[in-house]
A = this chain, B = another copy of it.
């Protein structure tokens, strides 16, 4: 009878445990108390759980962010703090920072959700027309039915048409896979490619600094993370010699199969030049790598002289020698000018994939049934916005332009302010939504951090949070060259908040540097 509360994984062992408990050896590991005062051993413990999950790290939502949320609650309760509000600059979430939704987009989605409004003439005709078109593509005319696992057909066609307009090269709707945000698609692509152990184990080449989804997915799926370092001295450009070093070294112990590139860069904010994209493509071809191009910030280009050059277009322009390369490109509703993170819309275009593998990919995504259909509809609004002459066109362009113009101003302001502070240097934020400034931490601060068992930039970021209420993510969460220290901040606080943010940061930093001066 007692054995059932003392059970371990093997019956024989369980019997022994039950016996020892009979002999009064006391409670087993953890868990609430059972009837006779014994505790029930947990089936699932930190020791018995999946070891790969334990290896996963995701700093963008890590302990510093959890502490920021605690501080917000303390402020609400009236606990005195040296700041009046917590500014969460840890994540690229525009609406959370006060950006307003694009009116047209929300009109279309609300019409899709509530078709009773379709004949309501207070909605513009083009919004109603878009909603009708999307609903016609949904089974039973409802956003509440499952779509095809790869996404609603009409939306895939709209995405393909968008890519064609963007690149000037054909796009096949059968190559489009809608997804639950870009993260979902990125994970599925890596999942297709992991295999083997030892020298045959799949290596995934990722930039350092990287967006930590890549290291998290690599850890969870048991692939080898193969780092290549971006060139901070050259505005985080991607140096081909470094790619070559990286792949060569990796081949000593694993099989690199995929090259991930984030352009515009996260957390680094660089925009790759056309020539750089060309060289990367040639490198991938030479080294027999599948290219994964994270292009979710394709609409977020700010610096003069910079432009977005898609990998697809650049490959196609390079002609048949390179246009047959395998490529997956990712896009999302979460970034750009719309910032619709919560709808979890996204897609990938996969070209030149082996047809048998593509069937396997379709099967894999079918086990999740389908991406959220409201997210798919949101994606449709992004790729199929109001056109000149349509009733919503002018207000749409006005709203879109205003957001992008303001982001460009904030990108400039943030980098300039950082560069005006002693001990902080920051590359130009050419695109995306982040600055990744470098901080020259005094040796005494480094030692203090180590004495607390913290990463030096983690210590700095935690102090910044506790003293100034500013939540950023330490550079160690993204990776950085040994002995350098950074943090990532978004450029998303609205202009009034950004001013408070930069002032509070400057005051904190100067105080910190004085306190720990060598």
A497 to chain B, nearest CB (A): 12
Question: Taking each of A9, A285, A288, A364, which has the highest tally of chain B beta carbons within 10 Å of its own beta carbon?
Answer: A288
Are A195 and B339 touching (Cβ within 8 A)? no
Within residues 333 to 379 of chain A, which ones have a CB less than 8 A from any CB in chain B?
Answer: 334, 338-344, 352-354, 356-357, 360, 363-364, 366-375
Q: Is A77 on the interface with B (CB-CB < 8 A)? A: no
* Cα separation A94 to B342 with both chains bound (whole Å): 25
Q: Is A30 on the interface with B (CB-CB < 8 A)? A: yes
A283 to chain B, nearest CB (A): 9
Q: With A98-B140, A325-B40 in contact, is A374–B343 under 8 Å at CB?
A: yes
Q: Which stretch of A107-115, A384-392, A464-472, A508-516 is in the interface?
A: A107-115
Are A372 and B344 touching (Cβ within 8 A)? yes
Interfacial chain B residues near A57, Cβ < 8 Å = 363
Q: Is A51 on the interface with B (CB-CB < 8 A)? A: yes
- The residue that A96 contacts in the complex, of B94, B113, B145, with Cβ under 8 A, is B145
* Cα separation A192 to B98 with both chains bound (whole Å): 36
Q: With A11-B251, A360-B53 in contact, is A146–B93 under 8 Å at CB?
A: yes
Are A368 and B61 touching (Cβ within 8 A)? no
Q: With A61-B366, A344-B372, A354-B44 in contact, is A192–B53 under 8 Å at CB?
A: yes
Q: With A51-B195, A95-B144 in contact, is A372–B357 under 8 Å at CB?
A: no
A334 to chain B, nearest CB (A): 8
Q: Is A160 on the interface with B (CB-CB < 8 A)? A: no
Interfacial chain B residues near A96, Cβ < 8 Å = 139-140, 142, 145-146
* Cα separation A116 to B102 with both chains bound (whole Å): 12
Q: With A44-B357, A326-B42, A341-B144 in contact, is A58–B367 under 8 Å at CB?
A: yes
Q: Is A220 on the interface with B (CB-CB < 8 A)? A: yes
Q: Is A149 on the interface with B (CB-CB < 8 A)? A: yes
A98 to chain B, nearest CB (A): 6
A107 to chain B, nearest CB (A): 6
Q: Is A216 on the interface with B (CB-CB < 8 A)? A: yes
Are A288 and B9 touching (Cβ within 8 A)? yes
A42 to chain B, nearest CB (A): 5
* Cα separation A8 to B200 with both chains bound (whole Å): 13
Tell me the count of chain A residues lying within 8 A, CB to CB, of chain B.
Answer: 121
Q: Which stretch of A177-185, A267-275, A301-309, A396-404 is in the interface?
A: A177-185
Contact with B along A80-103 (1 / 0, CB 8 A): 000000000001011111110101
A179 to chain B, nearest CB (A): 11
Are A360 and B288 touching (Cβ within 8 A)? no
Closest to A355 in B: B30
Q: Which stretch of A31-39, A416-424, A434-442 is in the interface?
A: A31-39
Are A342 and B373 touching (Cβ within 8 A)? yes
Query: Within the oligomer, what is the number of copies of this chain?
Result: 2
Q: Is A255 on the interface with B (CB-CB < 8 A)? A: yes
Contact with B along A257-288 (1 / 0, CB 8 A): 11000000000000000000000001001111
- The residue that A342 contacts in the complex, of B51, B54, B370, with Cβ under 8 A, is B370
Interfacial chain B residues near A375, Cβ < 8 Å = 372, 374
Are A342 and B143 touching (Cβ within 8 A)? yes
* Cα separation A422 to B404 with both chains bound (whole Å): 68
Q: Is A48 on the interface with B (CB-CB < 8 A)? A: yes
A336 to chain B, nearest CB (A): 12
Q: Is A176 on the interface with B (CB-CB < 8 A)? A: no
Interfacial chain B residues near A321, Cβ < 8 Å = 5, 34-35
Interfacial chain B residues near A148, Cβ < 8 Å = 69
* Cα separation A357 to B53 with both chains bound (whole Å): 10
Closest to A333 in B: B144
Within residues 4 to 25 of chain A, which ones have a CB less than 8 A from any CB in chain B?
Answer: 4-5, 7-11, 14
Question: Taking each of A48, A117, A320, which has the highest tally of chain B beta carbons within 10 Å of its own beta carbon?
Answer: A48
Contact with B along A310-336 (1 / 0, CB 8 A): 000000000111001110000000100
* Cα separation A189 to B324 with both chains bound (whole Å): 40
Interfacial chain B residues near A33, Cβ < 8 Å = 320, 324
Extra contacts, 6 of them, besides A34-B320, A372-B372 (Cβ < 8 A), are A31-B324, A35-B321, A94-B145, A96-B142, A191-B220, A344-B371
- Interface residues of chain A, those whose CB is within 8 Å of chain B, are 3-5, 7-11, 14, 30-35, 40-46, 48-51, 53-54, 56-58, 60-61, 69, 91, 93-99, 101, 103, 106-107, 109-111, 113-114, 116-117, 138-140, 142-149, 180-181, 183-184, 187, 191-195, 213, 216-217, 220, 251, 255, 257-258, 282, 285-290, 319-321, 324-326, 334, 338-344, 352-354, 356-357, 360, 363-364, 366-375
